Structure 1
Amino acid sequence: MSIKRLNVLIIEDHKIIARAYKNILNEIEDYQFCINFAENCDEAVFQISNNENDIVILDLQLPTSKDDKFLSGEDVGLFLRKKTSKTKIIILTSITNQIRVLNIVKEINPEGYMIKSDIDVKDLKNSIHSVLQGKHFYSKTIKKITEVITYKGVTIDDFDRQILYHLSMGEKTKDLYKYIPLSTRAIEVRKTKLKTLLDVNKDDNFNLVKEAKKLGFI
């Protein structure tokens, strides 16, 4: 079998991590990777503008560009997508903010999206194989965040499911802030939305949980 040669750009501001990615890539059989590096937004934009890449491994937490046009890896990813749709983007990050993750998936639609603490060497190798085969590869945390449910045109996200779950476990609404990173007011607003959506008129949690279970939300 012939060796396939691919150009890879690793955008990561920690040299040790970037070198570790390179070593892992070089262990993958049947491919020969020509690897370049970028440590900040300026270097990343220069590399993207002047080279054709088959794969870009992208960290989101990067030093900003000197002109403040590119503030993070997210801006770099958007720049890359506008330049070409051919390059496969694999995001490797520690950022798990739900709103930011969903926005990145919507705007950049990376072929790979992984939280660093979710994966090991085998997962990174599998992600490379998957994206080269035209598939998406998301780590468990990203999968959980992106597995939103749409019901009657309304999105039921992970926070909504957490509210329903803790209510089903007997927790009181006023105590949910202990388990969910939202204010009590925000939780009450979401709970009201869920009651309206599921057509639950009574003020008790029992019927809300009952209807949610029927629909498979919890």
Structure 2
Amino acid sequence: MKLKILIVEDHPSMIEGYKIILSYNTKDYEIEATSAFNCKAAYDIITDTNEFDVILLDYSLPAYPEKGINSGKDLAVLTRKHKPDSRIIVLTSHSEALILYDLIVTVEPEGILVKSDFSAEELLKAFELIVEGGTYHSTTVTQNVSELLSKKIYLDSYNRKIISLLAEGIKTKNIPNYMNLSISAVEKRKVQIKDYLGIDKGGDEEIIRKAKEAGLI
């Protein structure tokens, strides 16, 4: 059986490594791989008529700002629109819980593997499981997002964005400039965030400190 694979990774040596690993699959799949080294090249391939069984996406990639494609996550969202039958595997160096959580709830990829977690054997195991209809999260993904998934109401996309903006040094009064929220709505959401993080007293600095302790940022 031939499998058509798209590998999006900005390091050519990594692409060659993935090809070699996948060629050792135990199911006798014949791998036909297409490569892309940045978001623009991947955008052009994903939006054309070619179909792929599996798309492997690195999370951190050279952006394509003209189309608002800045990461592997954006490419995954694009893939869901243009290649709904393709199975998505995101490979990332990021272990931050908010990034991993955001991937899961926004894209629901069939696989997420943190690069520091997996060996060649684990990547191949995940690949074969996903091709057969399963899903796979590497150890760090499972450990870091399990609690967040149990409390989705606290960490919807708005609250995740607020935490990220605070961590970037944006003051609360200026957050409405970055989000479609009033200052009162931001303050109400900060109450939810503090509740989740177990903060009784303290301001933005305490939110950042607790979020870092929790591995969110």
**Coarse TM-score class (shorter-chain normalised):** 0.5 to 0.7
In the aligned structure 2, how far is the partner of 1:133 from the partner of 1:54? 11
In the aligned structure 1, how far is the partner of 2:57 from the partner of 2:111? 10
- Output the amino acid matched with 2:30: Q
1:91-110 deviation digits (Å, cap 9, x = unpaired): 11101221121111011111
Compute the RMSD of aligned alpha carbons.
2.2
In the aligned structure 2, how far is the partner of 1:136 from the partner of 1:72? 22
1:172-200 deviation digits (Å, cap 9, x = unpaired): xxxxxxxxxxxxxx88972247xxxxxxx
1:146 deviation in Å?
A: 2.1
* Structure 1 pair 122–69 and aligned structure 2 pair: CA distance change class (3 A): same
- Output the amino acid matched with 1:123: E
In the aligned structure 2, how far is the partner of 1:192 from the partner of 1:49? 45
Question: Pick from 19, 27, 40: which aligns with 1:22?
Answer: 19
1:112 deviation in Å?
A: 0.7
SS at match of 1:117: coil
* Structure 1 pair 49–140 and aligned structure 2 pair: CA distance change class (3 A): same
Residue 163 of structure 2 is aligned to residue 191 of structure 1: no
1:28 deviation in Å?
A: 1.1
Structure with the larger RCO, 1 or 2 (CA within 8 Å, 6+ apart): 2
State the match for 2:80 in structure 1.
81
In the aligned structure 1, how far is the partner of 2:35 from the partner of 2:71? 16
Any residues of structure 2 matched to 1:26-175 within 5 Å, and which?
26-29=23-26, 30-50=28-48, 51-65=50-64, 67=66, 69-148=68-147, 150=150
1:116-166 deviation digits (Å, cap 9, x = unpaired): 110001101101111012111110000012212647x8669xxxxxxxxxx
Structure 1: where are the runs of 5+ without partners? 157-185, 194-218
In the aligned structure 2, how far is the partner of 1:189 from the partner of 1:14? 39
1:7 deviation in Å?
A: 0.3
- Output the amino acid matched with 2:136: F
1:18-39 deviation digits (Å, cap 9, x = unpaired): 1100111111131001100000
TM-score of the superposed pair, with normalisation by structure 1? 0.68
Q: Is the 8 A contact 2:154 2:196 kept in 1?
A: no
State the match for 1:5 in structure 2.
2
Larger Rg: 1
1:85 deviation in Å?
A: 2.2
Q: Is the 8 A contact 2:129 2:135 kept in 1?
A: yes
TM-score of the superposed pair, with normalisation by structure 2? 0.68
1:38-63 deviation digits (Å, cap 9, x = unpaired): 00001101111221000001001110
Identity across matched positions, percent: 28
SS at match of 2:59: coil
- Output the amino acid matched with 1:24: I
**Could you say which structure has the higher helix fraction?**
2
